[in-house]
Homo-oligomer: A and B are copies of this chain.
Amino acid sequence: MLQSLTADQLTALHARRKCLTSLVDFPVLLWSGGSPSRNFPANRYPFRASSHFLFFAGIPIVNAVIRLEGDRLDLFMDEPGPGAALWHGPEPTRDELADTIGADSAFPLAALADKAEGAATLAVQSPNAGHRQADILGRTVAQPTQANGIDGQLVRALVQARLTQDEASLEEMRRAVDVSIAAHEFGMAATAYAETEAEVRSAMEGVLLGHNMTMAYNSIVTVHGEVLHNEVYHHPLAPADLLLADVGAETQSGWAADITRTWPVSGKFSSTQRDLYDVTLAAHDACIAAVKPGVEYQDIHLLACEKIAAGLVDLGILKGKAEDLVDQDAHTLFFPHGVGHLLGLDVHDMEDLGDLAGYAEGRERSDRFGLGYLRLNRPLQTGMVVTIEPGFYQVPALLHNPALREKYVEAVNWERLADFADVRGIRIEDDVLVTETGAEVLTANLPCEAEAIEALVAGT
C-alpha cells in the first residue's frame, strides 16, 4: 500500500533533513535494509526499516536508499519485478514513493554508485547489505559503534538530529502510547479470565495488532518479574502472584511506546506486595517530579536508588541511611538496572549507536554494579522523551550470591526480607517528555496508583 504523509509530517521531514545536512559537509546515504529470513527465504520476519532511514524518509520502504545533501533528497530503489503484483498486489512505483516522501528525484539502485562518492553512511542490518554497501562506496563500512572519519561525524550528527523530538514524532508516539495504554487496561481486565501468562500476553498484543500496530519489542508478561528480560509465557497464574507486563506498541512508521505495569493476579495486592509497590511508586513519582531541562539523567537514576533505599529502610528490609546505602550500592540488590532510557523510533532510542546517543561526549559507563547498566547519562533537554521505570526485584542470582550476602550482611535484614516472599518483581514505567517547564507524562492516562490498578484488574 502507499502510506500517505500529512503536510505537517512532510514539513517535519524537510526540517529533519535540513537539520542533518546543516551539521555535515558531505552527502549522506541511509539504507532502509531488508527483512531477514526466519527459516527459509520466502518466510521472512516482518520488515522493520532502519530507524535512521525512517527518521528522514517517514515511511518504511524495503531495500531503499536515501541520499541527503543540502536541500536535496534522492530516493534509490528498484521497482518490483513483473511477478510481484501477483504475490504482493499492486505496489506503489518508485516515482509515487518519491512523491510521497517529498524526494527531489528517484533512481534505480544501479544509479547509486555514481552518486556515492564522498558520501558517509551507516552499516545497516540486512542480509548481505554490508557487502553491497562496501561495493557501492568502494570502501569498508564499519559498525556504527566503530565508525570514524566522515561516518563517525555522521553518527554524531544523527545523534544531534534525533535526540529531541519534533511535533510530528510526538504525534506518532502519542498514538503508540494510546494504544499501549488500551493494551495494558485490557490485559489487567483479562487477568481474571486467564490461566497463563500467555493468555494475558495474547490479550495485550491483540489490542496492538487490532489497531494495526506491532510490538516495539518482545513483550514481557510474566509472574517472574525478577527476570528482567523474561520472554517466556508458559507459567500458570496463581492468585498470590504479581503479574508484570512490559508491553509497548510501534506505529506503522516505527515510533515506539514503552510501558510497564505490575498488578495482582487476584485483583488485590497483599499488604507486603502493597508496601513494596508503594516504595516503587514513590521512586517513580519522585523521578518524574525531578524531570526538567538541564537536570542530569544520572541524578534522576540516583534519586530512584535513594527513594527505593529509603522505602526499604522504612520497611525494615535495609538498615542505615538511604544515602549511605546507595553509596555502597546496597539498593542494587533489589534495583539492579538503570531508571530508564531514551525513547523514540527505537524503544532504546539509537542504541544501535552504542552509547554515542545515550552518553554525553566523553562519558563512559560506570564500573559500579547497577550504575553500569544505566543507558542514559546526559543532561536532559527540552523535547527529549525518556522512560522512568524504577523497580523492585528479588533476583535469586543476586540474593543467594554468597559474596553479596557477605558484603551486605549488615545492610540487609534478611529475616525481615523473608516476610516479603510474595514479591518477585515490580516495575512501574512511564514515558516522559521533557518540556521547557518540566515534564509531560505521555502515559499519564494509564494510572499507576495501587487502588487504581486494583480497580482496572477488577474491571470496575
Binding site for B on A (CB under 8 A): 1, 36-46, 48, 50-51, 85-90, 125, 196, 198-199, 201-203, 205-212, 217-218, 224, 226-234, 336, 345-348, 350-352, 395-398
Complex CA gap A234/B251 in Å reads 12
Complex CA gap A228/B87 in Å reads 5
Given pairs A37-B352, A88-B230, 20 additional interface contacts (CB within 8 A): A39-B345, A39-B352, A40-B350, A41-B352, A42-B348, A43-B217, A43-B218, A43-B346, A43-B347, A44-B218, A85-B395, A85-B397, A86-B398, A88-B231, A89-B226, A198-B211, A199-B210, A202-B208, A205-B206, A206-B206
Query: Known: A125-B36, A125-B37, A352-B41. Is A88-B198 also a contact (CB below 8 A)?
Result: no
Query: Known: A90-B396, A348-B43. Is A201-B196 also a contact (CB below 8 A)?
Result: no
Task: Pick from A43, A209, A231, A233 the residue with the most CB of B within 10 Å.
Answer: A209
Whether B346 and A40, one on each chain, are in contact in the complex, defined by CB atoms closer than 8 angstroms, is yes
Residues in B whose Cβ lies below 8 Å from that of A232: 1
Complex CA gap A48/B38 in Å reads 7
Residues in B whose Cβ lies below 8 Å from that of A199: 210
When A and B form their complex, which 4 residue pairs have the shortest distance between CB atoms, in order from nearest? Answer: A89-B227, A85-B397, A202-B210, A202-B209
Smallest Cβ-Cβ distance to A221: which chain B residue: B209
Task: Pick from A43, A203, A217 the residue with the most CB of B within 10 Å.
Answer: A43
Whether A51 and B39, one on each chain, are in contact in the complex, defined by CB atoms closer than 8 angstroms, is yes
Whether B203 and A86, one on each chain, are in contact in the complex, defined by CB atoms closer than 8 angstroms, is no
Query: Known: A39-B51, A202-B209. Is A86-B352 also a contact (CB below 8 A)?
Result: no
Whether B202 and A207, one on each chain, are in contact in the complex, defined by CB atoms closer than 8 angstroms, is yes
A234: which of B1, B36, B43, B233 is its contact (CB, 8 Å)? B1
Residues in B whose Cβ lies below 8 Å from that of A395: 85-86
Residues in B whose Cβ lies below 8 Å from that of A347: 43
Residues in B whose Cβ lies below 8 Å from that of A85: 395-397
Task: Pick from A45, A210, A233, A396 the residue with the most CB of B within 10 Å.
Answer: A210
How far apart are A49's CB and chain B's nearest CB, in angstroms?
A: 9
Complex CA gap A90/B232 in Å reads 12
Complex CA gap A383/B90 in Å reads 39
Complex CA gap A459/B131 in Å reads 54
Task: Pick from A39, A85, A201, A207 the residue with the most CB of B within 10 Å.
Answer: A39
Complex CA gap A206/B219 in Å reads 14
Residues in B whose Cβ lies below 8 Å from that of A196: 210, 212
Task: Pick from A36, A45, A86 the residue with the most CB of B within 10 Å.
Answer: A86
Complex CA gap A218/B47 in Å reads 11
A-B contact pairs, 23 of them (CB 8 A): A36-B45, A37-B125, A37-B352, A38-B48, A38-B125, A39-B50, A39-B125, A39-B352, A40-B351, A43-B351, A85-B395, A85-B397, A86-B398, A87-B227, A88-B227, A88-B229, A88-B231, A89-B227, A90-B396, A196-B210, A198-B209, A201-B210, A202-B207
Whether B89 and A224, one on each chain, are in contact in the complex, defined by CB atoms closer than 8 angstroms, is yes
How far apart are A366's CB and chain B's nearest CB, in angstroms?
A: 15
How far apart are A130's CB and chain B's nearest CB, in angstroms?
A: 10
Whether A86 and B397, one on each chain, are in contact in the complex, defined by CB atoms closer than 8 angstroms, is yes
